[in-house]
A and B are shown apart, each in its own frame.
Chain A
Amino acid sequence: METEHASGAPVTGGATSRVARIVVPVIIGIVFLGVWEFLVHWLEVPKFVLPPPSKILDALLTDYATLGASMWNTLQITIAAFFVALVFGVTGAILFTQSRLFEISLFPYAVVLQVTPIVSIAPFILIWVGLDHTERALLILATIVAFFPILSNTTLGMKSVDHNLLNLFDLYHASRWQRLRYLQLPSAMPYLLGGMKISGGLALIGTVVAEFVAGSGTGTGLAWRIIESSNRLNIPRMFAALLLLSSLGVIIFFGLSAVETLLLRKWHESAVGREN
């Protein structure tokens, strides 16, 4: 790790890069916010066009209770949708790999569901299930958005099993269940985790889009707070809600990345450091 440049300056690596990976973006963020704050004041930009960061922070602190409750609602739907998508995606992948008939009959419809813009399905779902229970409609919509990457990644992973290992399992007369449990599912794990990282973000996006479409019917999520604040020209609060949404996305991403590293660090090339 002590590789040195021709100039003699140590190349960043190991601990240095870990610190740098946090410090450098933070510095850039602070500089960016400072310039923003300064320009808004200097150019006298009206607050309803672009509020300075300080006003956004103000809005965040004043409306913390409302925004916090909204964030909690959005988060609940997102997490629920993610887990439902996980169950459906993995179950679907298992069915697809156990039976060719399942795959050829159902996969096209999974694709149709995936490629149809969620915004255009949303009104139907809202009418069918959402009139009394908007949150159910949100859950269904977010799940539809989130489940496809898990389905397709896990299916691919289960099909990418080492053929010799499959032969080995045949040789020892493994049952279908044993082959699934001991070989196909572990093989698919890196693929599944990759799919989960994509789906985590998509579940949030699906929830937000569904909230937008549902409009005042929900009245509780962060997306609705953005619409509401926009209608009242409370731009700082719009930004505050947006900030919370982004934070949710970031937390979900890093949370799932941590799960991935934890599960793969012992064996998968993606999670172990190179030794040279």
Chain B
Amino acid sequence: MANTVSVLAQKAAAGEAGEIKRPLIRIDGVSKTYQNGTVALADVKLDVRSGEFLSLLGPSGCGKSTLLRMIAGLGTPSSGVIDWTQARYDVSGEPERSLGFVFQEPTLMPWATVFDNVYLPLKIAGVSRRDAADRIAEVVAMVGLEKFAQHYPRELSGGMKMRVSIARALAVKPRVLLMDEPFAALDEITRFKLNNDLLTLWQQQRWTVIFVTHSVYESVYLSNRIAVMNARPGRIMTEIAIDAPYPRDDSFRTSPVYNEFCRETSAELKRTMVEPGK
């Protein structure tokens, strides 16, 4: 079963052109043990391919957020490597990750307007307000908030705050977008809307997206590929390719194909949770 799945995954990676691309990020044998002895991740192997929409799906405590953060450079693995194979390295030996990160919470600065929140990464990079203005206007428009640039976060709804958070991640023109359960706290209607908007943007911009979620339905709807993880210790149990064409919209949500993938993914998830993690 696991073999068939990985063959499927390879086919998906090969893409329509039929060539197997070099992975953008190679995660090899990554383990993370905390000081108190908790093993968050054990021997994780995963290739992230350029341009794909990859979901990390698993129950809470499976280390999916930890893995995402380590990919972003927040925290280092206890062993193993996270290799940005195509990245250039800067003078300090740090890979130029060129990534945007969206947290589960909007994580906005309450004292700053939407404009200034989105400006933050550019400000840190030393770009002047004036030089940044066009880019900020562009990404704020991308997430549909052009009328709210001068508003403060407290004046926005939960969904709008999340849009600001996404716009901020996009401000630096990332090639990779890392998202840590970004829509988990939103109501379903807002979540569906943001799912659709995210897919549209992904298709336009051709980013690589790594998306952490605990929702089977969300991961199937969005992804090319799902890495199913289980907990204690966190590891990747299987990979599932979602071979359904984009653009996907609300009609996909009700299609038999979608249901079939959801069933398959749920079954995999259930199987990994029954298996005793060694």
CB within 8 Å of B: which residues of A?
Answer: 162, 164-165, 167-174, 178, 182-183, 186, 189, 266-269, 272
Contacts and interface: CB of A to CB of B under 8 A. Distances in A.
Contacts of A272: 154
30 contacts: A162-B107, A164-B103, A164-B107, A167-B69, A167-B74, A167-B103, A168-B107, A168-B120, A169-B124, A170-B73, A170-B74, A171-B74, A171-B99, A172-B121, A172-B124, A172-B125, A173-B124, A174-B124, A178-B124, A182-B120, A182-B123, A182-B124, A186-B109, A186-B112, A189-B111, A266-B111, A266-B152, A267-B111, A268-B111, A269-B154
A182 B116 CA distance: 11
Across the A-B interface, the 10 shortest Cβ-Cβ residue pairs: A164-B107, A172-B124, A174-B124, A267-B111, A267-B110, A172-B121, A186-B111, A164-B103, A267-B152, A171-B101
B28 interface: no
A172 B171 CA distance: 12
Interface string B133-154: 0000000000000000000111
A267 B103 contact: no
B123 A168 contact: no
B47 interface: no
A229 B69 CA distance: 70
Nearest to B113: A266
B256 to A, nearest CB: 40
Nearest to B172: A172
Interface in B57-89: 69, 72-74
Contacts of B101: 167-168, 171
B197 interface: no
A173 B98 CA distance: 12
A63 B227 CA distance: 85
Contact of A164 (B73, B105, B112, B125): B105
Given A171-B101, A172-B121, A183 B109 contact: yes
Contacts of B73: 170-171
Interface in B86-135: 94, 99, 101, 103, 105, 107, 109-112, 120-121, 123-125
Which of B109, B152, B154 has most A Cβ within 10 Å? B109
